[in-house]
Structure formats: C-alpha cells, structure tokens
C-alpha cells in the first residue's frame, strides 16, 4: 500500500514538470525523500495538488484576460487609425478651403452694375423691322437689342438680377399698353432659354417666402 502511495505521489509531483528519468541522481534522491514525506502525510500532498490546480486555473483565467485585452487593443488601434485618416482628410479640406478663401480675397471686387456676367433678366418690348435704334444702346445700359435672322430688331428695356422684379416691370409695361412685353433671360451676355435658368428662379422664389 505504501508503495502505491509512493508511486502516486511521484506521479502527481512530476506531472507537467519533468519526467522522472530526466532527473539527476541527486535530484532523484531528493524527490524520493519528498515523496516518502508525502506518503507519510497525504494531507500535504492533497494541499499541494489543490494549490497546483488553483494556480493552473488562475493562469488559464489570466491568459483569457490577456487575450481579451489584446483584442480590445487591436480594436482601439483600428479606431485610432480611422480617426487619424478622418483628421488627415479634414486637414486637406481645410487647406483647400483656405486656398479658395485666399483666391476670393485676391479677386477684384464685383461691379454690381456689370451685367455682362451671370444671369440677368430683361423685358423685351417687341421685334421691329426697319427700326434700328442701336445707336442708343451705348449710352443707355437699360436699353438694348439684337438682330434676328429675319432682319428684325428685338428691343429690351431694363436689366434685372431678380426674375420677380423683372416680372413686375413686365406687368407695368403691359399696363402701359406694351402688350408684347415679356421676359428674356441672359447668361454671361448670351441670350438663353428660360428653362436653362429655371432652377435658380425657383430657388430665389423659395428664399423670398
């Protein structure tokens, strides 16, 4: 019985530590002595085995915590990389915005009376043949006209940035007897179709409401 206990003690002590055959003679002698002591006092052996099990369980739990922490660090590293990328894009946009602002500051001031740029509206009062009034255009910015392929001259009165102001003026002209008065749009000095500037007209009306 004692022999069995002795071998059991040795097996438990050396399990997961070292193979008995790999011990030196001196080490074998020391461990045999300890095994005899455990055989005489199994309670100490039980405590040792239980302590070993607790340590192994704690070690396993710590490994799990380390794995969880590594996963959290990996997620945070990815988030940091994403935020750094966003910051980089924002800095790039800020630099671009500053450059655009600098260009605007350097640009010459816009003359509010220069109607050769952008969208303007004029009120056409009619198209006539054999009535050439072009000599009056240069000294009268609010009076203009253009020749058609049919040999007619189309004459306009007034220049408006606001479509609805032009519409109001058109109604005044009709009330005064100019029944053919109607609005014609121009963009950068060229006559265009109303549908080409309709989006801006609608947006302007929405802002005024």
pLDDT tens readout for residues 82-134: 999 999 999 999 999 988 888 877 766 656 667 778 899 999 988 888 777 77
Q: Give rounded-to-5 percent helix, strand, coil for the chain.
A: 60, 15, 25
Which stretch of 64-68, 179-183, 205-209 has the lowest confidence by average pLDDT? 205-209
pLDDT tens readout for residues 24-78: 888 878 877 877 777 777 777 778 778 888 888 888 888 888 888 888 888 888 9
Is residue 145 situated within a structural domain? yes
> 3-state class of 20 per DSSP?
helix
Task: Say which residues have a Cβ less than 8 Å from residue 197's Cβ, sequence separation at least 6.
Answer: 119, 185, 187
Residue 13 pLDDT exceeds 70: no
Task: Say which residues have a Cβ less than 8 Å from residue 10's Cβ, sequence separation at least 6.
Answer: 20, 31, 32, 35
Is residue 126 situated within a structural domain? yes
The first and second tokens of residue 7, run together, are 């071998």
Is residue 142 situated within a structural domain? yes
φ, ψ of residue 133 in degrees (nearest 5): -110, 20
Give me the number of domains the chain comprises: 2
The pTM for the full model equals 0.44
Is residue 135 situated within a structural domain? yes
Is residue 112 situated within a structural domain? no
Residue with tokens 């009535």: 131
- Range(s) of the domain holding residue 145: 119-208
Residue 10 pLDDT exceeds 60: no
């Amino acid at each position: 019985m004692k022999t069995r206990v002795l071998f059991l003690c040795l097996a438990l002590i050396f399990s997961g530590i070292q193979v008995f055959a790999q011990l030196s003679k001196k080490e074998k002698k020391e461990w045999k002595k300890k095994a005899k002591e455990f055989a005489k006092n199994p309670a100490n052996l039980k405590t040792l085995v239980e302590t070993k099990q607790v340590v192994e369980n704690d070690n396993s739990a710590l490994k799990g915590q380390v794995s969880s922490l590594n996963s959290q660090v990996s997620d945070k590293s990815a988030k940091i990389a994403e935020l750094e990328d966003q910051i980089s894009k924002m800095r790039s946009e800020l630099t671009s915005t500053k450059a655009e602002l600098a260009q605007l500051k350097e640009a010459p001031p816009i003359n509010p009376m220069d109607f050769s740029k952008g969208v303007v509206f004029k009120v056409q009062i009619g198209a006539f043949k054999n009535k050439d009034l072009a000599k009056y255009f240069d000294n009268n910015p609010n009076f203009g006209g253009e020749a058609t392929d049919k040999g007619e001259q189309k004459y306009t009165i007034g220049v408006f940035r606001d479509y609805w102001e032009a519409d109001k003026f058109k109604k005044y002209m009709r009330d005064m007897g100019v029944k053919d008065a109607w609005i014609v749009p121009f963009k950068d000095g060229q006559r265009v179709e109303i549908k080409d500037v309709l989006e801006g007209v609608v947006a302007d009306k929405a802002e005024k409401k």
